[in-house]
Structure formats: structure tokens, C-alpha cells
Chains A and B, each alone.
Chain A
Amino acid sequence: MRFAVITFPGSNGDHDALKAIELGLKQPVESVWYRETDLTGFDCVLIPGGFSYGDYLRAGAIARFAPIMDAVAEFADAGGPVLGMCNGFQVLTEAGLLPGALLPNGSLQFRSQWVTVRVERSDTPWTSRIDDGAVLKLPIAHGGGRYFADPETLSRLEENGQVIFRYTDSNGNLDPDANPNGSANAIAGICNERRNVVGLMPHPERAFDSLIGSDDGLQVLNSVLGVDNKVVAGR
């Protein structure tokens, strides 16, 4: 499976995403420059973390206008698996490919720490090889990761099973202390209605080796390998 990792000016998690795929997953992966306009030939797309365009104006607000984003939207419309991590999640919400928004953390401070998230649904390309309810240990590193959506959107997300990752304690139980940024419904990650686009604030690409704290992130990245492209609707 051929992975694309988008690099915007100011992306700084692109290198980690490339290494996670290359060293952790041992799959072919290429960096795609934000000025490119074509994603033909790639089987899935990663939008990495960082501070695209310095997070100036608002995280992800400028990146959504980058030339590559039309190709990302087309890829997603065609049912291709897209994963946005941290700043990538912010870009996807700004681009309207995922609902809701990511606000400054409740603490109003940057938070870099290990968290545990519960996998709510395995019916996405990015969780297909993980059991429902499994708990993953992943790092977060963000200043604006507080998931927000209006009440109607939130209930629709919950009803449709679009909440994919939730902050919990290490036993998988909801706990206000385990929610590091004040996200609504302890949401750490969601998918679109079609379920092929997933965004999350934690960093699966930074957890591909137990030597650096955890290899749980590989379960997320590995899941997409189990997806038969024909099964992903529309492809």
C-alpha cells in the first residue's frame, strides 16, 4: 500500500509520519509537497501534525487553501482513506472534510503528555484491525485540541457512531481528569459520515516503537492495510 504524507510549510510531524510508515509499518511512503495538485497512485493519505503556516490566524485555517487540498478533497470524495493527526485533524475540520472545530485547550496552555484513548468503533479504515473498546497509549502535543461542535452535530456524531477515539483512563473508563483539553464528550477523534476520513488529536505516528514509549499507534496505521480498496465505498 502506498502512503502519501502531505507537507505544508510549517508541518513538523511529516518526518515522524514518514518514519512511522517506513520503519514501523515497512510500507512505501512518499512526501507530497503542498503545491502539488495530484494524488494519483496513492492508496491512502496522511495529514501530519505541526504548525502549518505557523498556525497564524487559526490552526489549519490557511492550510485549507493550499493547492494540494483540492486533491485531498477529491481523494476523500472517492472514498480514499485519509487520516489527519493533530494539526492534520485541525486542517480537515477547517477544510470541511470533518465536522466541528478544535478550540484552544481548556487550560489555555500547550499540553505534551501521554494519554490513553478508547477505540469506539472498528468500522473505519483506520481502526479496522482494532477491537471496539481497546485502549491505546498515545502522546498528545497541542495547544488547540478541544473538540467542539454544536449540540445537533454532537448528537448526530454520537448517533452515527462517528466518534472514533475518546479520552479515557487506562482501563477505558471516562474520567474528567483523563480529558487533557476539555473536549466535548471527551472526543479525541472522529470520522466523516462515509467513515473514510478520520481525524484525531493524539499522535499514532509518534507511537510506533515501545522504545519511545509505545507502539500502540501502529495499530491505527496498520488497520488501513487490512482495507480492501474495493470495499471502501466508491473506489
Chain B
Amino acid sequence: MEELNALIEVTAEVLSEVALSADEYQLIVEKLGRAPNAVELGIFGAMWSEHCGYKNSRPLLRLFPTTGPRVAQGPGENAGAVDIGDGLVAVFKIESHNHPSAVEPYEGAATGVGGIVRDIFTMGARPIAILDSLRFGPLTEARNRYLYHGVVGGVGGYGNCLGIPNLAGDIFFDPAYSGNPLVNAMCVGIAARDDLMRAKASGVGNLVLLVGADTGRDGIHGATFASVDDPEKSHRGVVQVGNPFLEKLLLEACLEVLQTEHVVAMQDLGAAGLTSSAVECASRGEVGIEIDVALVSRRESGMSAYEVMLSESQERMLVVVTQEGLDEVRAVFDRWSLHSDVIGRVTADGLIRVLDDGHLAAEIPATLLTDECPTYTREGVESPATVELRAFDPHVLPDLGVGDAPSPHDALLRLLASPNIASRTPVTRTYDSTIMTNTVIGPGQGDAGVVRIKGTERGLAMKTDCNPRYCFLDPYLGGLHAIAEAARNIACVGGEIVAITNCLNFGNPERREIYFQLKRAIEGIAAGCRAFDAPVISGNVSLYNQSGSAAILPTPTIGAVGILDDVRLHARSAFRDGRTVFLIGSLGSTLGGSEYLAHIQGRTAGSPPSIDVDLERAVQEMTRRAIRQQFVVAAHDCSDGGIAIALAESCIGGKVGGRFDLSSISAHNDDRVDQTLFGEAASRVLLQAEIGREGEIEALCAESNVPIVKLGKTSGSTFALERILEVSLSAIEDAWSSTMV
């Protein structure tokens, strides 16, 4: 123990460096029975950070339902897994890379993709799709344009090289993200259920192998960096640089070694590098791990034990192998030209022991770093300003065509050009979406991405969703909306949601109004999980997303996965010529929290739409049935921008005009034109009937008590809302296509 007594003076500065409070330091001394040395303090700082330790969110995360008949792996592993039939599981997770992307957008986003893909193949699953959910400030500001182009470039650059299709992300702009963009990357993989690997070390004497990239000084303190305010100010130079080529080799090699019988556990090196991977592996397996940092291949000389343990160099993997299997496993890595160093072994004592060329550098019980990380249950109080904003009544504003308000025609064109509605093609065409030859519905073709699963009849549908304005105005309802919309999007392609992952992006939880948002959003999502029978199987929390005093909009991103039993029976969102269009579900709506109010009236205010969970479920079920029975040729959710925007989008997609009459829903919308056209609501779907199947759709609706109205028919090259507006198809297409760059 003497070697550990290289005591450091614990000043406020030292604690700030590792982002621990004085109380937490005292707790460490108490639990350890002595003062930690510098290496140990760094390890505690990383493991007790919000990013690794979830100290502010863990008590709240327990509110999520995480079990169900399909769940093969719930939260706590590198990723969750659900049974999808045919002996297969879908393995997926979403994770944030917000702080690195705010500083160096290309590499921040690229390594975000790299990290989440590693989480999936670590589980023994072949990654089959990437989705990314992005949030930026307005592109009218040069800094935001720089971040946007960098992030989009990084997502594409990394994913394209790996050869994984990018299927269905979402992008949203709001001034609240100006100093703090969000980059949430999701990956979905497929594995045989019996082949699932876990990151649970076991077998005393088994060897710990570090594989992949050499270790450098990049990214030291990334985990703590992600857990403090204002990353740009204080932490330049901690961002990692990605090498997707190396990751591709690592992916193939890891999947290959998992086919041998010699791998006991596998854990990727992400935030807090070797420290967290070794600690988590040992803690899950209730064993100890001893590592000698002198055995780690480095890309620069003179690195201390502290630096090696906390480096976040990318494209590295920790693999626990049996002694007998070592040669065979290393031969596979050699074949893929990858380094593999034996850096330690599994021990029985439950300790994380770090040696530096044989000299003891740190020794901490593994569970002290994980299970005994302090958690904080705080008191949340809603901000009075939010209460006031929510009380705003949009009806005080003049209706379209009255006073200062624009005409319906101008409002439609302006909304189609809104950055939150406009065509995503300029982004999605830079992402490979056809590789792996599974893509049935690619980006922009439907409300969710759909891939087939070769060798089966099935398909998987997937989508990320979150309306941050709803979450800001009413976090509970916003959380519920996020999952309802994700489930609805999956229903609109013909799938049924089976599980979700989530990425909870919020401001500083130590502020009461932020903690309130976090807690209420989690409660809303938990209610949604129960309502749609979709447990949370994995996720990630990103707090402290703020610059100065301004926090982001609360953004609990939902990544949903659903199943199509027969992938041939799917629907896209583009209308076809000469067919009838119906609206099913809620006929009424509200302008509260709407894109119309934000973009045209410049207000984020009002109460977001309510959700009738029973109606929502019925609408989704009815949509799915109509698709499976091939009664419909197109289905499209009405979300941002309301019915008028949804109709326009489906017409643009199908390159066909149409005449639609909204008078039958006008009374449900207070007889206001703005609300009828652009009001938003949950539980609303546009269905276009196959010729001759109109009656069957109406009968299905009657059977399930789902309201239905006939809106009109597609034809020609004019987009008309009867007695309200008439515009050429090319004009709406131009408006929709010209915003994004």
C-alpha cells in the first residue's frame, strides 16, 4: 500500500479538474479508507461523472419499464436486445456525442457514430442501420452552419466507410441549440439470440486483451467534460479523432473472434477509456481486473499511468479470453492487421488494480466505482416562465388573411420552407442508404426506415423522434408525444413497435427547473412505454447541455424499433395518382407549441396537443391493419405543420397534385383556418386508399371506433385546399426543396 501514498494536495482546482464535489471527495476517502492518489482520483472522477455514473438520473431511470416477453437484454449492457423471431434479436442503443460535436463537429459526430456502432458489435451483433437525431441553432448564424456541415459530414464520413446504411434520423432547429448542438447516434444490429455476448468478466486467470488502435493522449477527461457546463470554454483539445477504416477492421475481427469459444467478455472503450471498460467488465462479473499500463501500446512516449487509464483514443476494444484460446483469438486479430496486447488478467479479489511496469499505481474495489457512485434525488420545480408560456392562447392571434397574419397561401409556402419541415435530401443523399442490400424504405420515402432481414419474411422498422418544443412547454406530455409519434411512424410503414432506446438531453440538473423537466419527461416516456407496450432496453443521459445560463430545449430523443411480420406489406408516404385520401383519428388540433406558431408567429408558447392513448393505439392498429391488408397505397403521420403540410409532403413525394376539402374538420378546429391547416395533434394519419378499397378502410375504422373523413383525391399538378388556397405542385416543391443546403 505504501506505493499508493503518493499523496496529492486536494485543492478546489484539483477537484474541479476531475469534476467531483468536496462532499464526493470525502465520501471517496471514507469508502476507500484512505485518501486516493492522483490516478485513483482521476478514475473516480470519470466513473462518478454523470456520463458514466448517472448520478443525477439513476433514481429517475428506474421509472422506465425495462422488461417484457421479447426483452433478451435490458439496460446495463453495451446495448439492449429484443427477440424478433426466427431465433434472432435486434440489438440497439442510442447515445449522445453533444459536447465533442460542439467543439469539433466533424470528429465529434464521426466518433459518436463510431462509439455507438462499437456498442452494437460488442454484443456480437452485426450492425445493420444507423440513425441520427440532430439539433442545431438556426442556420442563419455562421457558427451554426459550421456545426451543421461538420456534424453531417462526420456522420456520413464515418458511417459510409463502415458500410452501414443510414436510414432514418431527424433534424430540428431552434435558437436554444445555438451554443449546444445535439448529436444523438443510434445503431441497430442483428444477432442470433444464442450468440449474444456480454461485457461480464469471469474466470479468474483469464486474460485481458486490448485490441485495435494504439493509445494516445486524445480525449483525456472526455467523460467529465461531457458532464460540465459550457464545454467550449474549458475543454478545448479533448476531442478524439476517428479512424473508420480501423473500426471496420475491428468490427469484422470482433464478430469473427466471437465465433470461437474463447471469448468470455467484450467491452468497447468509450468514455473514460480503459478505466470504465475494465471497471464495468469487472463489476458486472463480480471479479477483479489487474492491468499493467506498461503493456499498453502507445502512440506517444512519456504517457503516465493516469493518461493511459483515462485516454479516450478511439477504435479500441477490451476482450477477456481464456488462456487456452489466446493464440487462436490473436491469430484472428493478426489476420485483420490489428494489434492485440495482453495487458492484464481477471482476479478473484474484486479490485481494479493498475500497475505501471509492475509498480502499483491504483487499487480500488470495482463496485465502489459503479454501484456505490452517489446518486442525487433533487427537488424539481417548474419554471414560472414556462407556466406562463403554456397559458398562452393562440386564439388571440389574428387568423390567416386577417390583419398582420399572412394569407393561407403564403403561410403554406413559408412553412414548407421552414428548416424543421423542408426536404432532408441535401443531408440524406450524403449518407449511404442502400449498402447491405436490405433497405426497403430509405430516408424520406416513408415515416420510418425499413430493412428486410435476409433469410426471413420479416422486416424491422426504425425511427428517432422528439418534439423539443412540446417537451419544453410540457415535459410530461412532450415525453409521451415522443414515444407516441415514434410508434405512429412505425405503424405508418406497417410495423409494430416492440421496444425503445432513449437519449435524455437536458441542461444542468442541479437547477430546479431543469430537474423538473428531466423528471417529468421521464414520467411521460414511462407512461408511453406502458401504453404502447414498448420497454426501454438501453439508453444514455446527456446533462449539462448549456452554454452560460441558457439551457437547450429538453430533448428526450426516442429511438424506436418495430417489426413487420411480412416485410413486403409495407407503406410509403408518397401519394399515387387518382386515389382517395382519408384522414383518420383526431379531427381537432391545436396551435399550442406548433411549428406554425414558432415559424410564422415567432412564439414557442401555448399548451401542446393532448394525447388520448386509447385513440392513439386504435389509430396505429387500424393503420397497420389497412397496410397489411393492402387497402392503402400510402400512409403519412400528420405531425409538425399539421394536415396541410402532411398533404403537401405526400403530394410532393408522389409528384402529383390533388384537391382536398378540409371543411369537415373545420368545426373541430374552432372554425379557424390557421388551426385547421396547421394545427397539430397526436393520433392523426393520412391514408390513401387503393382504388376500390375505400369502403374497406371505412369499415375498418367503424369497427375500431376511429373517426375517419374523406379529404379528397389526387390528380394533376395543382395542390388545392378547396375555398382556401390553390398553388402549383412545382411551387410547393420549390419551397420545400430550397431551404436546406
Cβ–Cβ < 8 Å partners of A77 in chain B? none
B461 at the interface (CB under 8 A from A): no
Contact mask for chain B residues 2-37; partner A; CB cutoff 8 A; 1 contact, 0 none? 000000000000000000000000000000000000
Contact mask for chain A residues 108-151; partner B; CB cutoff 8 A; 1 contact, 0 none? 01111100000000000000000000000001010100000000
**Whole-angstrom CA separation of A209 from B438 in the bound complex:** 10
B217 at the interface (CB under 8 A from A): no
**Whole-angstrom CA separation of A19 from B609 in the bound complex:** 47
Cβ–Cβ < 8 Å partners of A15 in chain B? 163, 436
Selected contact of A20 from candidates B157, B437, B452, CB within 8 Å: B437
**Whole-angstrom CA separation of A208 from B429 in the bound complex:** 21
Among the listed stretches B241-249, B380-388, B469-477, B507-515, which one makes contact with chain A, having 4 or more residues with CB under 8 Å of it?
B241-249
- Assess the A12–B435 pair: CB atoms within 8 A: yes
> How far, in Å, is A178 (CB) from chain B's closest CB?
15
**Whole-angstrom CA separation of A205 from B428 in the bound complex:** 21
Selected contact of A112 from candidates B248, B249, B429, CB within 8 Å: B429
A28 at the interface (CB under 8 A from B): no
- Assess the B249–A9 pair: CB atoms within 8 A: yes
Cβ–Cβ < 8 Å partners of B431 in chain A? 110, 112
- Assess the A51–B434 pair: CB atoms within 8 A: no
Among the listed stretches A53-61, A165-173, A186-194, A222-230, which one makes contact with chain B, having 4 or more residues with CB under 8 Å of it?
A53-61
- Assess the A213–B160 pair: CB atoms within 8 A: no
- Assess the B163–A50 pair: CB atoms within 8 A: yes
- Assess the B245–A113 pair: CB atoms within 8 A: no
- Contact size range, B: 20 to 34
**Whole-angstrom CA separation of A56 from B248 in the bound complex:** 14
Cβ–Cβ < 8 Å partners of A49 in chain B? 435
Contact mask for chain B residues 223-247; partner A; CB cutoff 8 A; 1 contact, 0 none? 0000000000000000000011110
**Whole-angstrom CA separation of A219 from B336 in the bound complex:** 34
CB closest chain-A residue, reference B248? A10
- Assess the B245–A10 pair: CB atoms within 8 A: yes
A212 at the interface (CB under 8 A from B): yes
Selected contact of A212 from candidates B156, B243, B437, CB within 8 Å: B437
**Whole-angstrom CA separation of A141 from B161 in the bound complex:** 11
- Assess the B439–A51 pair: CB atoms within 8 A: no
Cβ–Cβ < 8 Å partners of B435 in chain A? 12-13, 16, 49, 141, 206
> How far, in Å, is B226 (CB) from chain A's closest CB?
27
**Whole-angstrom CA separation of A139 from B435 in the bound complex:** 9
Tell me the dominant secondary structure on chain A's binding face: mixed
- Assess the A212–B439 pair: CB atoms within 8 A: yes
- Contact size range, A: 20 to 34
B704 at the interface (CB under 8 A from A): no
**Whole-angstrom CA separation of A141 from B432 in the bound complex:** 6
Selected contact of B161 from candidates A10, A19, A113, A211, CB within 8 Å: A10
Cβ–Cβ < 8 Å partners of A50 in chain B? 163
Contact mask for chain B residues 241-261; partner A; CB cutoff 8 A; 1 contact, 0 none? 001111011000000000000
Contact mask for chain A residues 58-92; partner B; CB cutoff 8 A; 1 contact, 0 none? 00000000000000000000000000000000000
**Whole-angstrom CA separation of A49 from B248 in the bound complex:** 14
A195 at the interface (CB under 8 A from B): no
B residues 424-466 in Cβ contact with A at 8 Å: 428-440, 442, 452, 454
**Whole-angstrom CA separation of A49 from B434 in the bound complex:** 12
- Assess the A110–B440 pair: CB atoms within 8 A: no
Cβ–Cβ < 8 Å partners of B438 in chain A? 212
Contact mask for chain B residues 371-414; partner A; CB cutoff 8 A; 1 contact, 0 none? 00000000000000000000000000000000000000000000
B residues apposed to A, CB below 8 Å: 156-157, 160-163, 243-246, 248-249, 336-337, 428-440, 442, 452, 454, 567-568
For this complex, 11 residue pairs linking A to B, each with C-beta atoms less than 8 Å apart, are A12-B248, A15-B163, A19-B437, A49-B435, A51-B160, A53-B245, A55-B245, A56-B245, A206-B435, A212-B438, A213-B439
